[in-house]
């Protein structure tokens, strides 16, 4: 069935993300600020943060912390185009 195939695909995607040696952030780009839904273990190892450190954060807030002044221009252009 379609539902079974969707569930199988979702499990596969989760396994790929978790087994990756590359840090991955999954964010909901349909919501303001792009709330972070999930991070993988590789990202936690690379940043020294736990997955709970990313809970209730947005991708935009991480970029703001990281990029400083140029962030607002980036957020505006992404919000207008995406």
What's the predicted TM-score (pTM) here? 0.69
Average pLDDT over every residue of 40-52: 93
Reading the block at residue 24, the tokens are 């991955």
Of 44, 50, 47, 35, residue with least CA distance to 17: 44
Question: CB under 8 Å to 54, separation ≥6 — which residues?
Answer: 25, 36, 39, 62
pLDDT band at 67 (very low <50, low <70, confident <90, very high): low
């Amino acid at each position: 069935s379609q539902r079974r195939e969707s569930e199988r695909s979702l499990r596969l995607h989760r396994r790929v993300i978790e087994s990756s040696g590359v840090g991955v952030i999954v964010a909901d780009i349909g919501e303001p600020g792009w709330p972070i839904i999930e991070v993988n273990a590789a990202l936690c190892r690379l940043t020294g943060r736990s997955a709970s450190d990313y809970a209730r954060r947005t991708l935009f807030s991480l970029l703001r912390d990281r990029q400083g002044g140029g962030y607002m221009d980036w957020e505006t252009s992404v919000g207008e185009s995406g």
